[in-house]
Amino acid sequence: MARSQTDAAVTAAGIFQEIEQAIIHGDYRPGDVLPSIRELATRRHVSPATVAAAFRRLAERGLTYVERGVGTKVRAETLLSDSLGRAPLPVMNGIVDVASGAPDPALLPDPNLSLHRLSVAKALYNVEPLLPGIREQAPNVMADVFNSRPEHFTIAGGALESIADAVAARLRPGDRVIVEDPGFAAATSLLRSHALILVPVSIDDEGFEVDPFAEAIKHGAKAVLYSPRAQNPRGSTLTAQRASDLRTVLNEASKRGKSPFIIENDHASLICDAPYLSLTESSDSWLSTRSLSKSHGPDLRFAFVAGDELTIERIQRHQALNRGWISTILQHLVVDLLSNPDVERLTKQATAEYNRRRARLVETLATHGVKSYGHSGLNVLVPVDDEAATSNTLMGYGWQARSGQAYRHARGPFIRLTPAALTNDQIDALALNISDAFRTKTGSYR
């Protein structure tokens, strides 16, 4: 380790803090391998158990991960980075971005058309947190969420903000939260920032695998975070049978008085043609969030949020104390967009196009013998042997792909591709280049 070490750092907390500082100051760079537990224990004259405890905390905080046969490595994207898995990657001239996960700008409504129409009254500090128009739109956006349940809802500045609100409303530091593996990187970083312990559960095309999910519930998980469809990064979608099996697990937990808090991130609901199936009905404490980022524009920073009465009440109190209200100007814009027939038609067109483009990439990859996953949403996941080598090779072909490291916990390496804004010719060329990358031994599907 390049920085000076003190004799005082002989506790697990002290070793954790020292390595954390080394990562902050760049003494350990992304991808660097830390000294082994045994080596560090010998160097510090402490037991291996003490160092192991420090390493566990580093992993829980999202600073490191274990690579089999190599050791403990520093994550490329951590809680200490500016990105939290969200910041756009720099794209060089001539390189096509299939890494960002963004929708196609051509399929997003033009906000200027609405802004020119709007006449918004000046507001001071005595505003209603929810405009009447927002209250009118909520049952349309959340109709299948409300179903036969009371309509308890609020709004938030996007999906991540609503997840942060849910955490503040229902969870405490040290609580165990079941997350998807692989799962939404920014959300898992957010949970770690609240000192929550992540319990990764493997997923397949239908969502959580039942047996590991049941095991995680059995061992006292306080909450579950999942996406019912358009899962990021794999594109998983709950099926009726899988949803039923997972609800059975949750109902059994409820009988034991151990029902977890369910956080449902249905982030792409408005541009996803997969049916809505939910786990929230199996819990008395739940929250479901639906963002407008993919359907109407990431810069809107707006989400509708439904939940049980107590959760919504706590969130509204938390919002009042922290940020007061969501801008009424933004609320007027959202109401205009959601009530505009032309925008509705464009959103339906976008849904069909995203489904077609994603399916074309999966099918074309298959014709080249490359296995990939992407049942719904914007993204396609391609398992590889070496994320960095495959990404570098694709960069040489003119594509910027997203490494799977920030999304996975115990699952194998992969790259994530977003064909949302690609033409047919581009999709076909991308599939061919991925096949070529595999033939040059830089990656291989599993």
Angstrom distance (rounded) from CA 250 to CA 258: 9
Angstrom distance (rounded) from CA 365 to CA 204: 19
Q: Which residue has the higher pLDDT, 445 or 404?
A: 404
For the segment 141-153, the average pLDDT, to the nearest whole number, is 89
Side chain identity at 144, as an amino acid letter?
A: D
In a domain, 357, yes or no: yes
In a domain, 91, yes or no: no
Domain boundary among the residues 319, 339, 359 is at 339
Angstrom distance (rounded) from CA 286 to CA 304: 14
> Is residue 174 within 8 Å of 195, Cβ to Cβ?
yes
Angstrom distance (rounded) from CA 135 to CA 20: 45
Q: Specify the DSSP class assigned to residue 27.
A: S
Angstrom distance (rounded) from CA 401 to CA 431: 12
Q: Is the pLDDT of residue 8 over 70?
A: no
What CATH number did the domain enclosing 371 receive? 3.90.1150.10
Same domain, 237 and 308: yes
Angstrom distance (rounded) from CA 326 to CA 324: 7
What are the residue ranges of helices labelled H in 297-398?
A: 309-322, 328-338, 341-367, 387-397
Same domain, 184 and 305: yes
- Give the total number of structural domains in the chain: 3
| Percent of the chain with pLDDT strictly greater than 70 | 93
Closest C-alpha among 361, 398, 399 to residue 379: 361
Side chain identity at 247, as an amino acid letter?
A: R
Quick check: helix, strand or coil at residue 53?
A: helix
Q: Within the chain, how many helices (H) and strands (E) appear? A: 16, 15
In a domain, 445, yes or no: no
pLDDT tens for residues 156-201?
999 999 999 999 999 999 999 999 999 999 999 899 888 899 999 9
Same domain, 359 and 291: no
In a domain, 2, yes or no: no
- Which pLDDT does position 86 carry in this prediction? 43
Residue 286 structure tokens: 């739940």
Burial class (CB in 10 A: 0-12, 13-18, 19+), 284: middle
Domain boundary among the residues 277, 304, 339 is at 339
- Which pLDDT does position 282 carry in this prediction? 86
Same domain, 181 and 306: yes
Angstrom distance (rounded) from CA 225 to CA 263: 5
For the segment 232-261, the average pLDDT, to the nearest whole number, is 96
Closest C-alpha among 377, 370, 374, 376 to residue 443: 370
pLDDT tens for residues 82-109?
443 444 555 566 899 999 999 999 999 9
Tell me which of 67-71, 323-327, 413-417 is least confident: 67-71
Strands of 207-208's sheet, edge to edge?
Answer: 153-156, 303-307, 286-291, 261-265, 223-226, 176-181, 197-204, 207-208
> Which structural domain range is residue 387 located in?
96-106+343-439
Q: Is the pLDDT of residue 4 over 80?
A: no
Q: Which residue has the higher pLDDT, 3 or 69?
A: 69
In a domain, 111, yes or no: no
Closest C-alpha among 393, 139, 166, 394 to residue 260: 166
In a domain, 199, yes or no: yes
Same domain, 224 and 314: yes
Angstrom distance (rounded) from CA 220 to CA 87: 34
- Which pLDDT does position 9 carry in this prediction? 61
Phi then psi for residue 234, to 5 deg, are -85, -20
- Which pLDDT does position 421 carry in this prediction? 97
> Is residue 327 within 8 Å of 393, Cβ to Cβ?
no
What are the residue ranges of helices labelled H in 25-78?
A: 37-44, 48-60
Give me the residue label for tokens 């927002």: 134
What CATH number did the domain enclosing 271 receive? 3.40.640.10
Domain boundary among the residues 296, 318, 339 is at 339
Residue 353 structure tokens: 């196009």
Angstrom distance (rounded) from CA 205 to CA 231: 9
- Which pLDDT does position 77 carry in this prediction? 58
Q: Is the pLDDT of residue 226 over 80?
A: yes
| Percent of the chain with pLDDT strictly greater than 90 | 68
- Which pLDDT does position 3 carry in this prediction? 43
Angstrom distance (rounded) from CA 393 to CA 6: 43
Same domain, 294 and 367: no
Across 8-98, the runs of DSSP E, i.e. the strands, are 64-67, 71-74, 96-97
Angstrom distance (rounded) from CA 104 to CA 122: 34
Residues making up the chain, counted from first to last: 446
Same domain, 310 and 220: yes
Same domain, 273 and 303: yes
- Which pLDDT does position 93 carry in this prediction? 64
What CATH number did the domain enclosing 35 receive? 1.10.10.10
Q: Is the pTM of this model over 0.75?
A: yes
Q: 143's torsion region: left (phi>0), alpha (psi -120 to 50) or beta?
A: alpha
Closest C-alpha among 353, 382, 355 to residue 369: 382
For the segment 267-278, the average pLDDT, to the nearest whole number, is 95
The contacts found for 14-20 with CB under 8 angstroms, 24 or more apart, are: 15/40, 15/44, 15/46, 15/50, 15/51, 15/54, 16/54, 16/57, 16/58, 19/54, 19/58, 19/63, 20/58, 20/61, 20/63, 20/80
Residue 253 structure tokens: 């937990």
Same domain, 68 and 147: no
Tell me which of 25-34, 78-87, 148-157, 261-270 is least confident: 78-87
Band the pLDDT of 441: cuts 50, 70, 90.
low
- Which pLDDT does position 2 carry in this prediction? 42
Average pLDDT, the chain: 90
CA gyration radius, the chain: 23
Band the pLDDT of 443: cuts 50, 70, 90.
very low
> Cα 374 from chain centroid?
15
> Is residue 205 within 8 Å of 380, Cβ to Cβ?
no
Same domain, 147 and 284: yes
> Is residue 177 within 8 Å of 191, Cβ to Cβ?
yes
Band the pLDDT of 58: cuts 50, 70, 90.
confident
Highest mean pLDDT among 28-42, 47-61, 292-306: 292-306
Same domain, 129 and 148: yes
Same domain, 199 and 311: yes
In a domain, 84, yes or no: no
| Residues pairing with 291 in the sheet | 303
Band the pLDDT of 440: cuts 50, 70, 90.
confident
Tell me which of 17-21, 115-119, 131-135, 316-320 is least confident: 17-21
Q: Which residue has the higher pLDDT, 426 or 45?
A: 426
For the segment 274-303, the average pLDDT, to the nearest whole number, is 95
Angstrom distance (rounded) from CA 336 to CA 138: 13
